[in-house]
Amino acid sequence: MKRNKMITPIKKDVISGFSVFLLALPLCLGISTASNFPPVAGILSAIIGGMLASFFGGAKLSIKGPAAGLIVITVGAVEQLGAGNLQLGYERTLAVCAIAAILQIIIAWMKKASLAEILPPSVIHGMLAAIGVIIISKQAYVMIGVTPHVSEPLELLFNFPFELSHLNPILCIIGLLSLGIAVLFPFLKKISFVPASIIILCLVIPLSLYLHLGIDHSYIFIGNTYSLGPSSLINIPHNFFKVICFPDFSGILNLTSLKYIIMYTLVGSIESLLTVCAIDSMVVQKTAPSNLNKDLFAVGIANLASALIGGLPMISEIVRSKANIDYGALSEKSNFFHGLFMLIAVVIFPSVLNLIPLSALAALLVFVGFRLASPHEFIHAYKIGPDQLFIFVSTFFMTLATDLLIGVAFGIFLKLILHILRGNSLNNLYNPLITAHKFKDHISIQVEGPLTFLSYLKLKKIIEKTEKETKTIVIDLSLTPYLDHTVLKKFQTLAHEFKGLKVTIKENQALVPLYTHSLSTRKVKTKSPPKKV
């Protein structure tokens, strides 16, 4: 009996790991290619993220690997650090990634990973939506077989309709077929358990053979001549050890390197930790809450190892992690097996992988980009309140116009200004009076002053301290005149975050939502003075 009980969980993790590997393989190749890294760098990242990070724990059911959200940073780093030399840019970006990984390890060691929790959701989603648009703007050209003549996202979007006349018909058909499958396949309920990416590969690899894409040749379509050849396909070396590349630290001290170190550390850590929090909310009843510091430490160690041998930076990735849960994973072993199957694929089947057209991978990334920038995200922000939509859209456009770091900083700045305009002083926003009072059967934590994203961690630290003394905590907000959306969102996950602890929130009945949504910012309405007669 004991033997059967041991076999079943491992079997489920193997099956889930294999299923996630099938989903992740084309995504890893596509993300790497789109990032101006060698295609195999994405697989190398997934191998290390699976086989190394699994041993450090943190979030049991999360899958570590390259993420579409980091494409934008990586492309910029390679181009700017290499000054036109992509190989040099690649090697210097590896050095930047290595330093960022060390910073992630330090943040985790200092137990500061929770800082990512307090970033306003509207800012984060605005940034992610902008990343989605940037991915679409670049990959749409690859999907139709066109080389763009501009590089900025808004220019790429504006010029795209005019470039349709130059598309490569065969590559465009492959791309559109792949995109159609990615969009429509989830609606086919009876077979939707099979990853759409596998159906795409099963279609485009035979097409690649039939069309002889591995051989340079041309064809005529409606009087125009078009070229096809190996440049339209993925290129993975047959000798796995040839993929190893070491970082170049020669430019690590310049301002450009510093900018990208900060961006990788900030955006990579935030995306990864947000994924862990999201995965926790999906498995509330199945597992204990993840240790954010432990998980960031695992990501940092894996990122350092990946950067030192030529791999892409990685995070705990949301799409693969969600699939991992859906496939029935029970432990971190599923992440390990996902990495192991990646290793087997790149060592044994490089010839098969080299038959995958770039336009098919670009189509997958266009679909990923659309999901990040879905109109639903804009609608959701509006439903919470016009203020959240304003912050969301401002972050979105500032990120498109500048870069991720400036976009996020601008969004946070706007959020802060909005709180001040609503009658809060900067000191009160950052440092409300929070005190714990011990009673016979519980501890009451009273908040006196506004409770916002700036001060939530102060409250959380006090909860963590009092957790050791009692199993019942009351958060008293009767003297709290202002609650922001970020804190209300965090209150929803308190019960899961502090399992075994009964947390009750005593609300201030005078707090009124500024808009109709239950998570809208709340404020005590001051009575207007009586009018003089």
pLDDT tens digit string along 221-240? 988 899 999 999 998 888 87
Confidence of residue 246 (pLDDT cuts 50, 70, 90): very high
Tokens coding 227? 């070229």
Query: What pLDDT score does 281 carry?
Result: 67
Interior angle at CA 113, CA 112 and CA 118, nearest 5: 95
Cα–Cα distance, 428 to 451 (Å, whole number): 9
Cα–Cα distance, 300 to 279 (Å, whole number): 19
List helix spans (H) across 185-331. 196-210, 255-282, 292-309, 318-326
Confidence of residue 527 (pLDDT cuts 50, 70, 90): low
- Whether 285 has a pLDDT exceeding 80, the answer reads no
Please report, as a single letter, which amino acid is at residue 19. S
In this predicted model, what pLDDT tens digit does every residue of 431-475 receive, in sequence order?
899 999 998 888 999 999 999 999 998 998 899 888 878 889 999
- Whether 288 has a pLDDT exceeding 90, the answer reads no
Greater model confidence, 112 or 530 = 112
- Whether 183 has a pLDDT exceeding 50, the answer reads yes
The mean pLDDT value for 496-501 works out to: 77
- Whether 379 has a pLDDT exceeding 60, the answer reads yes
Cα–Cα distance, 346 to 357 (Å, whole number): 17
Query: What pLDDT score does 16 carry?
Result: 87
Query: What pLDDT score does 84 carry?
Result: 85
pTM equals 0.85
Query: What pLDDT score does 405 carry?
Result: 80
Confidence of residue 530 (pLDDT cuts 50, 70, 90): very low
The mean pLDDT value for 16-38 works out to: 89
Cα–Cα distance, 369 to 172 (Å, whole number): 18
- Whether 8 has a pLDDT exceeding 80, the answer reads no
Confidence of residue 10 (pLDDT cuts 50, 70, 90): confident
Confidence of residue 267 (pLDDT cuts 50, 70, 90): confident
Query: What pLDDT score does 277 carry?
Result: 76
Assess contact for 150 and 484: CB atoms under 8 A: no
CA 377 to chain centre: 15
| Region of poorest pLDDT, from 83-92, 255-264, 314-323 | 314-323
Query: What pLDDT score does 343 carry?
Result: 93
Q: What H or E segment, with its residue span, contains residue 482?
A: strand 482-483
Chain-wide mean pLDDT for the chain? Answer: 88
Query: What pLDDT score does 185 carry?
Result: 84
Assess contact for 335 and 62: CB atoms under 8 A: yes
Domains of the chain: 8-371 (no CATH), 374-421 (no CATH), 426-524 (3.30.750.24)
